[in-house]
């Protein structure tokens, strides 16, 4: 894809970098386009068995007994695994130390149903056999005695008195809790697994101060991340008690930790070998452990390696989409356009086990604005659908759909320009957010300014050439995301030819090999091609959190920066030793070491690299960090649509995504992230949804029926990279991957309103919904 319209509008010190901001070929590019890159399903081990999962046909059922006798008798079947073969992990919250907590009992029960099957597709048993055919045949021989229970599918239904209860242990809370899975010891059974409340200022006063208030209710459906690579895992449980797992993930250390906990093994007994990943978008973070503990247990029982791969349908019904939501938003402003109050109520479907991304929604929905008085009440609700998984800016897109639609109505009511209104109310450094924290350095204003002056925003809004029945409109919307951090480790080794090898512990899901190599190259002043990045297994590098939360370039970038600086320190020490001078008199710059005063003393990196072994040994640099100083991300999108009043079909005519990226290490991949996020948002806006039948079956569990946008459906997504450097990163990186999925739904809805004058409040805005609204 060539993006002809990209301009970096804010790049104050462009010439300070030699590598950062350039566009070298990605180091893994040839491997990926030639098919050499090995993905999870490519794992092939000798004596490997094929595993297959038996899934519940009921959305809600008690499992009374499982008889595996007939399956085990089938020739070729080597092992059958049920709940009885896996450790019973306590569904109490595990304190992971360092303020972290998780409920591995829930994770474990999602991997293999224990007391009940909680959604149609929930794993209830698994088989390993010499061929896939035999494994599939054996599934039919497993007899599960179910007591079928009534399911509850919609989260609001699930909150009602008398709704079918999923978990006996969830009780009405005596007081609000702010932890996923939190529940008290009083009250009656409930499906409300968490409730969050945030207050800022005085909501009632704020509403009284408003000249205009708008209140709307919104609904969004579950949508799947739709990664091209289905889940697959291979495990070998050696008889010395070491488990090796080959799988793709966004976080092989996270997978190691989850697998260890679910299988009750010490962390150090599990090695996860990272395979290439064909998309994850949040869902292949640590929460994406589904097959691995099952393959491991099958391997333990059979003594052979076991591979399990999912079909596309299994991915849809057996893994987590994001939450369906119900959201009510009320906002008020003075007649001169100042926001005075905002109120929101959110209900997010968690699926079978607690843990929707509603917290992320609360933290970001009002982030683009200064709002003196606000209140958010949010519910995490369990229901009989697959457990929700993270999806790009988890929680934020649905909430932004609501808020940005309401803001659009406010602007129309106030007769104000949508961007001027947002600039007037824009959050900036020092703004207190509704959930509490105060913003540091952010680029919200710069993004809005860039949008306001963009050629797209200033192009004629309505084409005078609309064909019969076709109406055109323009919409805009803002979006915010926190971005994340975490522990990261990198090791840089000097090669004798002056190139370096880089090993790091976070998977490359979107070009991070290149971005990491560029961090090292920038510090060393060498071409990016001279740095060879590798992502190694959990036994071969220090702890590293995954590629998620838009954090990998930030945190792993800093680890790479520190590792390279460690190399530079050793290089200068080495030169000082050779020259017999004090190390502080040696400086390193752009591949040259020289004495600060004695111009006779200089040596190139390449020449010194060839002399390391004889002057004290090799040089290896390490960087291990868990950085604070994350930079928040803001985006503003502009979209032109054309609505066919006859069919209800909405066509995207033009799309521009403007975003503060802090610093684009490799602009091509930053643009790709923004384009990808926008496209996924457009799919969510117009077409994608889980359609459930009354009994909880997903009616469209194939890519034929679950409609994602293709390149034929879309124009080129133009991107504008605004660079307001994040002071928390040595080069200014913020993190770019998630925020671009936040604005599209509202931007499209606002454009549809602009075109045909109807306000759509339910996603997807599919032809049938548009037609209904037009009626």
24 secondary structure, DSSP code: P
Minimum distance between the CB of residue 112 and a second copy, rounded to whole angstroms? 24
Measure the CA–CA gap between 421 and 426, rounded to whole angstroms. Answer: 8
Closer to a second copy by CB, 254 or 318: give it.
254
Write out the two tokens for 642.
């054309």
DSSP codes, 351-373: ETSS--THHHHHHHTTTTB--SE
Minimum distance between the CB of residue 524 and a second copy, rounded to whole angstroms? 13
User: Measured in Å, how far apart are the chain's first and last C-alpha atoms?
Assistant: 39
Beta pairing partners, 621: 492
Minimum distance between the CB of residue 503 and a second copy, rounded to whole angstroms? 5
Measure the CA–CA gap between 374 and 396, rounded to whole angstroms. Answer: 17
Closer to a second copy by CB, 53 or 503: give it.
503
Q: How many CA atoms lie within 13 A of 721 on its CB side?
A: 30
Which class for 704: exposed (0-12), middle (13-18), buried (19 or more C-beta within 10 A)? exposed
Closer to a second copy by CB, 539 or 598: give it.
539
Closer to a second copy by CB, 193 or 624: give it.
624
Minimum distance between the CB of residue 98 and a second copy, rounded to whole angstroms? 3
Closer to a second copy by CB, 615 or 647: give it.
615
Dmax (CA) for the chain in angstroms is: 86
Contacts of 545 (CB under 8 A, 6+ apart): 251, 253, 254, 486, 487, 488, 506, 551, 555
For residue 625, how far is the Cα from the chain centroid?
21
Minimum distance between the CB of residue 559 and a second copy, rounded to whole angstroms? 8
- The angle, 0 to 180 degrees and rounded to 10, between the axes of the packed helices 744-756 and 396-414 is 30
Q: In residues, how long is the chain? A: 775
Closer to a second copy by CB, 354 or 505: give it.
505
Closer to a second copy by CB, 39 or 290: give it.
39
- Give the residues lining the site for a second copy (CB under 8 A): 29-31, 34, 36, 42, 44, 46, 97-99, 236, 238-240, 242, 257, 266-268, 486-489, 491, 493-497, 499, 501, 503, 530, 532, 534, 536, 538-545, 559, 610-622, 624-627
Closer to a second copy by CB, 285 or 320: give it.
285
Measure the CA–CA gap between 744 and 746, rounded to whole angstroms. Answer: 6
Write out the two tokens for 243.
């488990």
Write out the two tokens for 578.
């050779």
Asked if residues 381 and 356 have their Cβ atoms less than 8 Å apart, the reply is yes
Closer to a second copy by CB, 121 or 621: give it.
621
Return phi, psi of residue 636, to 5°.
-140, 130
């Amino acid at each position: 894809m060539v993006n002809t319209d990209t301009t970096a509008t804010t790049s104050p010190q462009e010439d300070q970098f030699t590598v950062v901001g350039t566009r070298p070929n990605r180091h893994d590019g040839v491997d990926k386009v030639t098919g050499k890159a090995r993905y999870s399903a490519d794992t092939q081990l000798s004596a490997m068995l094929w595993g297959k999962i038996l899934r519940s046909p009921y959305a809600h059922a008690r499992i009374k007994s499982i008889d595996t006798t007939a399956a085990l008798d089938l020739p070729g079947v080597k092992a059958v695994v049920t709940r009885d073969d896996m450790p019973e992990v306590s569904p109490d919250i595990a304190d992971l130390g360092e303020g972290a907590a998780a409920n591995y009992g829930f994770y474990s029960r999602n991997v293999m149903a224990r007391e009940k099957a909680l959604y149609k597709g929930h794993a209830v048993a698994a088989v390993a056999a010499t061929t896939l055919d035999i494994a599939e045949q054996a599934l039919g021989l497993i007899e599960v005695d179910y007591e079928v229970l009534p399911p509850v599918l919609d989260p609001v239904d699930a909150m009602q008195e008398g709704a079918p209860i999923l978990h006996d242990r969830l009780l009405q809370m005596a007081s609000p809790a702010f932890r996923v899975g939190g529940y008290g010891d009083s009250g009656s059974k409930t499906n409300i697994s968490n409730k969050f409340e945030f207050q800022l200022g005085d909501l009632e006063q704020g509403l009284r101060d408003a000249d205009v208030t708008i209140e709307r209710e919104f609904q969004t459906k579950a949508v799947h991340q739709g990664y091209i690579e289905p889940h697959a895992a291979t495990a070998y449980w050696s008889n010395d008690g070491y488990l090796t797992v080959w799988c793709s993930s966004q976080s092989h250390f996270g997978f190691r930790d989850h697998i260890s906990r679910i299988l009750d093994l010490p962390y150090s007994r599990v090695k996860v070998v990272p395979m290439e990943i064909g998309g994850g978008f949040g869902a292949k973070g640590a929460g994406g452990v589904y097959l691995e503990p099952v393959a491991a247990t099958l391997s333990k029982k059979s003594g052979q390696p076991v591979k399990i791969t999912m079909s596309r349908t299994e991915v849809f019904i057996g893994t987590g989409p994001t939450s369906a939501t119900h959201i009510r938003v009320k906002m008020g402003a003075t007649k001169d356009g100042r926001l005075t109050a905002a109120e929101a109520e959110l209900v997010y479907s968690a699926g079978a086990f607690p843990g929707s991304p509603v917290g992320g929604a609360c933290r970001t929905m009002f982030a683009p604005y200064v709002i003196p008085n606000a209140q958010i009440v949010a519910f995490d609700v369990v229901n009989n659908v697959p457990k929700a998984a993270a999806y790009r800016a988890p929680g934020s897109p649905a909430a932004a759909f609501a808020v940005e639609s309401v803001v659009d109505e406010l602007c129309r009511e106030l007769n104000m320009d949508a961007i001027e209104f947002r600039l007037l109310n824009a959050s900036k450094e020092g703004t207190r957010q509704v959930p509490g924290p105060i913003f540091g350095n952010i680029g919200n204003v710069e993004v809005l300014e860039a949008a306001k002056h963009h050629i797209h925003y200033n192009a004629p809004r309505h084409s005078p050439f609309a064909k019969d029945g076709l109406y055109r409109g323009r919409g805009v919307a803002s979006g915010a995301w926190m971005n994340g951090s975490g522990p990261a480790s990198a090791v840089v080794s000097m090669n004798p030819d002056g190139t370096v090898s880089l090993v790091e512990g976070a998977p490359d899901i979107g070009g991070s090999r290149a971005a990491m190599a560029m961090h090292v190259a920038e510090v060393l002043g060498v071409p990016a091609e001279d740095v060879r990045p590798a992502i190694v297994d959990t036994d071969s590098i220090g702890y590293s959190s995954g590629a998620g939360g838009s954090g990998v370039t930030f945190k792993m970038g800093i680890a790479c920066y520190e590792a390279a600086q460690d190399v530079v320190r050793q290089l200068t020490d080495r030169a000082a030793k050779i020259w017999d001078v004090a190390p502080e008199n040696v400086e390193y710059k752009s591949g040259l070491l020289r004495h600060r005063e004695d111009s006779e003393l200089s040596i190139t990196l390449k020449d010194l690299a060839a002399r390391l072994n004889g002057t004290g040994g090799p040089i290896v640099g390490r960087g291990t960090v868990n950085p604070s100083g994350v930079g928040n991300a803001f985006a503003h999108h502009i979209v032109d649509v054309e609505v066919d009043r006859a069919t209800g079909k909405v066509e995207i005519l033009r799309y521009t995504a403007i975003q503060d990226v802090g610093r684009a290490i490799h602009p091509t991949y930053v643009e790709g992230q923004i384009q990808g996020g926008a496209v996924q948002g457009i799919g969510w806006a117009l077409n994608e949804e889980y359609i459930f039948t009354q009994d909880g079956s997903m009616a469209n569990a194939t890519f034929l029926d679950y409609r994602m946008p293709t390149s034929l459906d879309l124009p080129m997504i133009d991107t504008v990279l605004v660079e307001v450097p994040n002071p928390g990163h040595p080069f200014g990186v913020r993190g770019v991957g998630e925020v671009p999925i936040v604005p599209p739904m509202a931007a499209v809805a606002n454009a549809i309103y602009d075109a045909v004058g109807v306000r759509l409040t339910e996603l997807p805005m599919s032809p049938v919904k548009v037609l209904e609204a037009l009626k």
